[in-house]
Amino acid sequence: MEKRILTGDRPTGPLHLGHYVGSLQNRVRLQHDYDTYILIADIQALTDNFEHPEKLEANVFEVALDYLAVGLDPERVKIVVQSMVPELSELTTYFMNLVTVATLERNPTVKDEIKQRNFKRGVPVGFWSYPISQAADITIFKAELVPVGEDQLPMIEQAREIVRRFNSLYARVLVEPRAMLGQMARLPGTDGGAKMSKSLGNCIYLGDPPETVRKRVMSMFTDPTRIHPTDPGHVEGNPVFTYHDVFNPDKAEVDDLKERYRKGTVGDVEVKRKLFSALDGFLSPIRERRAEFAAQPARVREIIMDGTRKGRAVAQSTMDEVRAAMKLNYKFG
């Protein structure tokens, strides 16, 4: 049997370059070697945005467009909508017994996110326990590999613990997943901050028009210690060069820019212009594919429904095994 990939995203808005480097690139690269399922995690999106369910449908569609735009092949990859696979909720409930409150409270990503969000009425149980539902996402597909950004590592670790516990308590039904990180653990934001994040306003989105990308690039943070273009500059930790390293296929140009930057013989403006042109070369085909699919909404909906139907069939078959292992496959019923 072909090995499986499962990964996914919360549909909270369009995807950006950070998503690409962290995970989308690996998905595209591995889609022909693995049986690939990509989950649009709309239930997880609700855990901190349940007051605004009306945005979800449009966001699910946008995320699917981003997937198709970056080159995920709809003949190959199954795009699955989380809320349309109710078996996920059932498995989450069973998993709840296998995780302690103390373990959830220690999850570093959830802790960070709670700080960022400043929940006015306290942390909803749904948000705080989403690592359990994410473990169900991964394991219901018996995924071996989970391409994700660095911030998701605690979720994969949680899933592994649950699998070990389930398999030793009941029967060896579930597969222990492995995380796979992108070519860079984390892409910095255009402000030089640790990561690209919608809430920080430091993103370049995959669907951004060229003018928006140009503005973002030209206002990027560079080397704060460099005042004049003739000052020797720092390349390491300079987000403009980090982006060059990732997105500029012309390595000779990048090496030349770095050398001149260190010597103080090239200005920020030239380095940024060249970055814009590299990024534009990278984003243009993505933008075109996005527009093609966006013009065929019925086809995109078809792709989502087809992927979800196939994903649900896998989930149902795993749940038959899970219920049998848990002695819940009663003779009456």
Per-residue burial over 161-174, b if 16 or more Cβ lie within 10 Å, else e, is bbbeebeeebeebb
Between 53 and 237, name the residue whose CB sits nearer to ligand TRP. Answer: 53
Residue 39 C-beta: closest distance to ligand TRP, Å? 5
Q: Among residues 152 and 242, whose Cβ is nearest to ligand TRP? A: 152
Go through the chain and tell me how many residues it has: 333
207 φ, ψ (degrees, to nearest 5): -100, 5
Output the smallest distance, CB 172 to ligand TRP, in A: 22
CB of 203 vs ligand TRP, minimal distance in Å: 14
Binding interface with ligand TRP (CB under 6 A): 6-10, 39, 41, 44, 134, 137-138, 146, 148, 152
- Residues 6+ positions from 32 with CB-CB distance below 8 Å: 73, 76
Q: Which residue is nearest to ligand TRP (CB)?
A: 41
Smallest distance, ligand TRP to C-beta of residue 10, A: 5
Q: Is the dihedral of CA 96, 97, 102, 106 positive or negative?
A: negative
Minimum distance between the CB of residue 319 and ligand TRP, rounded to whole angstroms?
Answer: 17
Closer of 12 and 190 to ligand TRP (Cβ): 12
**Cβ proximity of 90 and 82 under 8 Å:** no
Place of tokens 């909270």: 12
Q: Residue 182 burial by CB count (10 A; 0-12/13-18/19+): exposed, middle or buried?
A: buried
In the complex, least distance from residue 303 CB atom to ligand TRP, rounded to whole angstroms: 19
Distance CA 152, CA 185 (A): 11
| Nearest distance in Å: CB 19, ligand TRP | 8
| Residue closer to ligand TRP (CB basis): 36 or 44 | 44
Taking the C-alpha atoms of residue 221 and residue 154, their distance in angstroms, rounded to an integer, is: 30
Nearer to ligand TRP, 10 or 16 (CB): 10
Please, what is the Cα angle at 185 between 76 and 248, to 5 degrees? 75
Contact between residue 308 and residue 81 where contact means Cβ atoms under 8 Å apart: yes
Which of 5, 246 has the CB closer to ligand TRP?
Answer: 5
Contact 128, 114 (CB under 8 A): yes
Q: Name the residue nearer to ligand TRP (CB basis): 107 or 248.
A: 107
Q: Rounded to the nearest whole angstrom, what is the least distance from the CB of residue 6 to ligand TRP in the complex?
A: 6
Any bridge partners for residue 35, and if so which? 4
Contacts of residue 106, Cβ cutoff 8 Å, sequence gap at least 6:
none
Q: Which is nearer to ligand TRP, 80 or 257 (CB)?
A: 80
